[in-house]
């Protein structure tokens, strides 16, 4: 297990209390699980993905991540429609461990309501607030 100081937590993304991250690029938001979550879960052996086109509201479960230790639900930190899922994960779930923010992303969501998106993003934590939460 990593110490909190050893965690890789980029500055340019937002974090949820349930350890997902969200990265905004115009109206497309990329979502995955963060370094803390992948480290806690241990080696990921399976990722269950949603259907492209699924409509999600903030807080909805959109899949599961399974490691040799546990099965964990993953929840979307923002509302919108699933426009893409990471097609590499079925064959290479270890990407979630090895590259949680880059090759191990899980879904991309298109937000259709900019003001809702802004308020939802505002509810998420930046790096400093997230670290403060982890420290309890």
Among 59, 69, 84, 102, binds other proteins (CB under 8 A): 69
2 touching other proteins, by CB under 8 A:
no
Distance, in Å, from the CA atom of 38 to the CA atom of 135, rounded to the nearest integer, reads 17
Binding to other proteins by residue 1, rule CB under 8 A?
A: yes
Q: Is 70 in the site for other proteins (CB under 8 A)?
A: yes
Q: Which is nearer to other proteins, 16 or 30 (CB)?
A: 16
Q: Establish if 100 lies at the interface with other proteins (CB under 8 A).
A: no
Q: Is 40 in the site for other proteins (CB under 8 A)?
A: yes
Question: Per CB under 8 A, does 18 bind other proteins?
Answer: no
Backbone angles phi, psi at 89, to 5 degrees: -65, -35
């Amino acid at each position: 297990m990593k110490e909190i100081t050893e965690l890789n937590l980029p500055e340019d993304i937002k974090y949820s209390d349930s350890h997902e991250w969200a990265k905004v690029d115009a109206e497309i938001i990329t979502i995955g699980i963060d370094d803390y979550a992948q480290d806690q879960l241990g080696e990921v052996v399976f990722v269950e993905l949603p259907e492209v086109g699924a409509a999600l509201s903030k807080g909805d479960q959109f899949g599961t991540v399974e490691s040799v230790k546990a099965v964990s639900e993953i929840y979307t930190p923002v509302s919108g429609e699933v426009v893409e899922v990471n097609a590499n994960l079925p064959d290479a779930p270890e990407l979630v461990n090895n590259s949680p923010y880059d090759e191990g992303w899980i879904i991309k969501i298109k937000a259709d309501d900019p003001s809702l998106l802004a308020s939802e993003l505002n509810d998420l934590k930046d790096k400093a607030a997230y670290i403060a939460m982890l420290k309890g």
